[in-house]
Structure 1
Amino acid sequence: MKLFWRFLFRKNLPPGSLCRLDYAVLGLGDSSYPKFNFVAKKLHKRVLQLGGNPLLPVALGDDQHDLGPDAVVDPWLVALWDKILMLYPLPPGLEIISPDVRLPPKYTLHYVAEDSPQPNGALLQPTKPRAAPSELCPFAAPVVSNQRLTAQSHFQDVRLMEFDVTGSGITFSAGDVVMVQPQNCPEDVQQFCQLLHLDPDRHFVLKPTEPGTALPALLPQPCSIRHLVTHYLDISCVPRRSFFQLLSCFSTSELEREKLQEFSSAQGQEELYSYCNRPRRTTLEVMWDFPHTTCAIPPEYLLDLIPRIRPRAFSIASSMLAHPDRIQILMAVVRYKTRLSKPRRGLCSTWLASLDPEQGDVRVPLWVKKGGLKFPSDPDTAVIMIGPGTGVAPFRAAIQERVAQGRRGNCLFFGCRQKSKDFYCQAEWEELVAKGFLTLFTAFSRDQEEKVYVQHRILENRRLVWELLSSRNAHVYLAGNAKQMPAAVAEALQSVLQLEGGLSPSEAEEYLAALERSQRFQSETWS
């Protein structure tokens, strides 16, 4: 993909390079992000610039739409196939496969005899990988500690977790992320097996239906049903429309089949959203609601029906210089209410929070990837870090790393609700302040009548911020998960540039843009 992208944007490509290319672009994005569908827009513009012929206008799917990206994808796909079939008709004797026809499964499942040798298997084997740990070969890291940082009376449970990566070959820098492969809880696995009348201890092997199809890399062969459901099938995710479409093919109940077909139709998307997406109903819960259909699902279709569990990314909150052979993360346990009686829980955070190293050897499959934040190598460069809540995690790693190298000029703006309840790592920050390694500004939004956020502290200390930017070539970093926070911080920084630097509004805006282009202003935010 990188090679293709570099080739496509070569400056010496003639304007008519792609004049014989018919193309269509569908982008999938989230309009809550500033660069909504940036790649799709850029790709469409470049191919058009090189003479390509667009079959359809560029389509931009949006996760924020009430109906999700399907609101754009559905009509786009219909129009695309109509256009393709008009330009390239099928040969005589061939017809489009009807949507009512059930396609064969991607794999066939064959049970093995109970006395066959079984693999030791699982993702959690404490083996030392030959190569650097990766998604296909994660390192089974022992959990060293699992400490709650927030007060028991606080509504949110935030943990500082530490993993031992001794002997893994893992190395990382401040700003990198650790990928964690989660698993389903035993209670959900048991319920799933009961619903489908599956023996969790029975073993099977998979064979591809079509020659040349690769087997799932993360599943051992042979594999137990328990391992498949625990480590591979994401039964806690909110199912997509395609799930209901395929599920309807197995239904032995006319009533259930009609409802499933309605949910998978274009006309039924609003009702599907109300039933499934709005309350965040899980795949397992949907299966409970359609028991006659669920018990009729052929096991070989499970891998077509349910997606695999995807790894979760966490900003690393520690430095190898301060904590050799250790990785620490700052994790908020996801738990919230919908109109369903049972609270919604995040799969990975709930599983990690349940791990207790005092109860024995507890291991987590993980590997490390490069993150989006890059910190300066020049020891004289100051850094301004803005990290409300768990957004402070990568900055904790950066501060530990810089302190271990004897670097000063570390300025942190940290925000949370209450000093007594969610001031993460308070003692650590205060010790560094006392030693002169850190300048700390805090905003406790609920500790006074009028709410105070980090952007207010930036404005209050605008003279220092301007001095660091203008005199010490400071780099600015922003991380957090509040929707309005990136815009509010950018506005505060522009005010600093105007009030202390004497810039006009347009000049301040261009100054920030120039900082971003030069990598002196980096942000990592999520909604």
Structure 2
Amino acid sequence: MKNFWRFIFRKHLPSTSLCQMDFAVLGLGDSSYAKFNFVAKKLHRRLLQLGGTALLPVCLGDEQHELGPDAAVDPWLHDLWEKVLGLYPMPLDLSVTPPGVPLPSKFTMQFLPETPRTCSEEQRVTRTDPQNPPSELHPFLAPMVTNQRVTGPSHFQDVRLIEFDIAGSGISFAAGDVVLIQPQNAASHVQQFCQVLGLDPEQCFTLQPREPDVPCPTRLPQPCSVRHLVSQYLDIVGVPRRSFFELLACLSPSELERDKLLELSSAAGQEELSQYCSRPRRTALEVLCDFPCTAAAIPPDYLLDLIPPIRPRAFSIASSLLAHPSRLQILVAVVQYQTRLREPRRGLCSSWLASLHPGQGPVQVPLWVRPGGLTFPETADTPVIMVGPGTGVAPFRAAIQERVAQSQAGNFLFFGCRWRDQDFYWEAEWKELEKRGCLTLITAFSREQKQKVYVQHRLRELGPLVWELLDRQGAYFYLAGNAKYMPSDVSEALTSIFQEEGGLSGPDAAAYLARLQRTLRFQTETWA
């Protein structure tokens, strides 16, 4: 993909390069991010510049739409097939697969009559090659050292500071990097899933692709137990997409359940599907429990077509190897919230991590590291302004530890939380660094006064300092945290500072901010 991207953006390509090509671009994105579907838009424009003919306007699927990306994708696909079949009619010797007939499964499962010695509960396919750093294919099984709640007992959210021992792993990281963790399903959910589908968790199988060029999932051992498949691979507590209901309808032997599944998977039934599944965040396991006849009849061959794999979760690294050798720390907000469903919704990875107790016995977590979106200046005299409300402060703790260890001054941290005595992460550490003259800390405790105060308010209050640091001292500005409102509020505060303290007009202030972003002096790491 990188080679393709570099090639089509070569400046010397003539404007007629793609004059004989018809194309259509479908983008999937999330409008809570500033560069929503940026790649799809840019690709569409470039293909036009090179002489290609667009069959349709670019489609911008949006994860934030109440009906999900399908709200845009459905009508676009309908129009696309009309265009394509008009230009390229289907050969007479081919026919369309009729509705209700499933395509063949991607894999077949060959169940073994006896449990082989290598098919035991802890087949560890996650071994580290000493010649290469850990990766998604070969994560490091890091011993968990501590798992400490760092919010007060009366605070609404459980936030954990978790430390791993990475000695001998070959893992190295710098401030701004992220660690990826491969979570597992809860044992109770694994048991319930196997019961609903009539599977024996101890039974072992081998996996065979139906097509010769299709590889087997590298994360699954051969042979593999059903328990391993369900606990460590299938995302049974994810919110299923429309394709899940389409395939279930094809596999259902129950007319009553099949009719309902067809309704939920139809274009006309998307509002009902949203009400039933997306809005209350109903999981795949809960859906299967609602359609018991269908669930009990699912051929095991279709499990990997029906349920996607568990994806790793990324966390900002909250420590520096210069301050904590052979250790890696993360700050984890345990996700739990209520919808109209009786059971609370829980984040898979954060809940799994919170459930681990290293004090009760050895605990190992599969993880690896990759570069993050934040890079910090190496020069000792370049100031940095870091804005990290809540758990967004995690990457800045790593940066401050690293910079202090390297005698880099000019560290300015804007930290925001609700209550000083409930969720002021690393308060003692910050205070000690302040005493040593290594840090300037500015706090915003939003609930401790009648009028809520956030980090953007503190930025405005200290506008002269912010302008001095950015414009005259060449400071770098960093922002990390929730993507919903905070990034735009902070950007507005900066634009206001540029106008009030720098005397810039509105357009010039916006251009100044854009220049900071372009030169990487304004960097963000946000999440939805």
Range class of TM-score, shorter chain: over 0.9
Contact 1:126 1:141 in 2 (8 A): no
Other-structure match for 1:198: 199
Provide the C-alpha distance between the structure 2 equivalents of 1:426 and 1:416, rounded to a whole number of angstroms: 11
How much does 1:470 deviate? 2.3
Contact 2:119 2:225 in 1 (8 A): no
Other-structure match for 1:27: 27
How much does 1:94 deviate? 1.1
Other-structure match for 2:40: 40
Q: Describe the superposition over 1:253-286 as per-residue Cα deviations: whole angstroms up to 9, x where unpaired.
A: 2111110110111111110100000100000101
Q: Describe the superposition over 1:401-420 as per-residue Cα deviations: whole angstroms up to 9, x where unpaired.
A: 00110111000000000101
Other-structure match for 2:183: 182
Other-structure match for 2:523: 522
Provide the C-alpha distance between the structure 2 equivalents of 1:230 and 1:281, rounded to a whole number of angstroms: 19
Other-structure match for 2:344: 343
Contact 1:317 1:396 in 2 (8 A): yes
Other-structure match for 1:425: 426
Provide the C-alpha distance between the structure 1 equivalents of 2:127 and 2:4, rounded to a whole number of angstroms: 37
Provide the C-alpha distance between the structure 2 equivalents of 1:28 and 1:514, rounded to a whole number of angstroms: 28
Other-structure match for 2:442: 441
Provide the C-alpha distance between the structure 2 equivalents of 1:95 and 1:80, rounded to a whole number of angstroms: 18
Other-structure match for 1:71: 71
Structure 1 stretches lacking a partner, 5+ long: none
Provide the C-alpha distance between the structure 2 equivalents of 1:121 and 1:218, rounded to a whole number of angstroms: 15
How much does 1:338 deviate? 0.2
Provide the C-alpha distance between the structure 2 equivalents of 1:388 and 1:272, rounded to a whole number of angstroms: 35
Provide the C-alpha distance between the structure 2 equivalents of 1:186 and 1:205, rounded to a whole number of angstroms: 23
Other-structure match for 1:87: 87
- Taking structure 1 as reference, are residues 438 and 70 closer, same or farther at Cα in structure 2, changes over 3 Å only? same
Residue 464 of structure 2 corresponds to residue 460 of structure 1: no
Note the 1:160-175 alignment, pairs <5 A: 160-175=161-176
Counterpart AA for 1:396 = R
Counterpart AA for 2:421 = S
Other-structure match for 2:377: 376
How much does 1:122 deviate? 4.8
Other-structure match for 1:505: 506
Other-structure match for 2:279: 278
Provide the C-alpha distance between the structure 2 equivalents of 1:27 and 1:482, rounded to a whole number of angstroms: 20
Q: Describe the superposition over 1:423-482 as per-residue Cα deviations: whole angstroms up to 9, x where unpaired.
A: 011011111011000000000000000100001111111121122112321000011105
Other-structure match for 2:300: 299
Contact 1:480 1:524 in 2 (8 A): yes
SS at match of 2:251: coil
Provide the C-alpha distance between the structure 1 equivalents of 2:102 and 2:460, rounded to a whole number of angstroms: 62
Other-structure match for 1:138: 139
Other-structure match for 1:367: 368
Provide the C-alpha distance between the structure 2 equivalents of 1:462 and 1:170, rounded to a whole number of angstroms: 40
Counterpart AA for 1:491 = E
Report the aligned-residue RMSD.
1.3
SS at match of 1:442: strand
Other-structure match for 1:317: 318
Contact 1:123 1:140 in 2 (8 A): no
Provide the C-alpha distance between the structure 1 equivalents of 2:257 and 2:245, rounded to a whole number of angstroms: 11
Note the 1:90-101 alignment, pairs <5 A: 90-101=90-101
Provide the C-alpha distance between the structure 1 equivalents of 2:403 and 2:99, rounded to a whole number of angstroms: 59
Percent sequence identity is 65
- Taking structure 1 as reference, are residues 124 and 380 closer, same or farther at Cα in structure 2, changes over 3 Å only? farther
Counterpart AA for 1:48 = L
Contact 1:391 1:480 in 2 (8 A): yes
Count of paired positions: 527
Provide the C-alpha distance between the structure 2 equivalents of 1:384 and 1:391, rounded to a whole number of angstroms: 14
SS at match of 1:256: helix
Note the 1:104-253 alignment, pairs <5 A: 104-114=104-114, 116-119=116-119, 122=122, 127-130=127-130, 131-253=132-254
Where does structure 1 differ by over 4 angstroms across 4 or more consecutive aligned residues?
A: 119-127
Provide the C-alpha distance between the structure 1 equivalents of 2:229 and 2:411, rounded to a whole number of angstroms: 47
Provide the C-alpha distance between the structure 1 equivalents of 2:91 and 2:250, rounded to a whole number of angstroms: 29
Provide the C-alpha distance between the structure 2 equivalents of 1:513 and 1:202, rounded to a whole number of angstroms: 58
Counterpart AA for 2:48 = L
How much does 1:123 deviate? 7.0
Counterpart AA for 1:29 = G
Counterpart AA for 1:79 = D
Provide the C-alpha distance between the structure 1 equivalents of 2:325 and 2:3, rounded to a whole number of angstroms: 36
Q: Describe the superposition over 1:25-58 as per-residue Cα deviations: whole angstroms up to 9, x where unpaired.
A: 0111112222111111110001001100111111
State the TM-score, normalizing by the size of structure 1.
0.98
Q: Which moved more, 1:488-497 or 1:124-133?
A: 124-133
How much does 1:132 deviate? 1.4
Residue 404 of structure 2 corresponds to residue 412 of structure 1: no
Provide the C-alpha distance between the structure 2 equivalents of 1:132 and 1:179, rounded to a whole number of angstroms: 13
Other-structure match for 2:491: 490
State the TM-score, normalizing by the size of structure 2.
0.98
SS at match of 1:422: coil
Contact 1:128 1:167 in 2 (8 A): no
Contact 2:128 2:139 in 1 (8 A): no
Counterpart AA for 1:418 = W
How much does 1:120 deviate? 5.8
How much does 1:90 deviate? 2.2
Provide the C-alpha distance between the structure 2 equivalents of 1:35 and 1:298, rounded to a whole number of angstroms: 42
SS at match of 1:479: strand
Q: Which moved more, 1:145-154 or 1:117-126?
A: 117-126
Contact 1:124 1:364 in 2 (8 A): no
Residue 359 of structure 2 corresponds to residue 358 of structure 1: yes
How much does 1:169 deviate? 0.6
Other-structure match for 2:57: 57
Provide the C-alpha distance between the structure 2 equivalents of 1:16 and 1:314, rounded to a whole number of angstroms: 45
Q: Describe the superposition over 1:272-330 as per-residue Cα deviations: whole angstroms up to 9, x where unpaired.
A: 10000010000010111011110111111101100000000001111111111111111
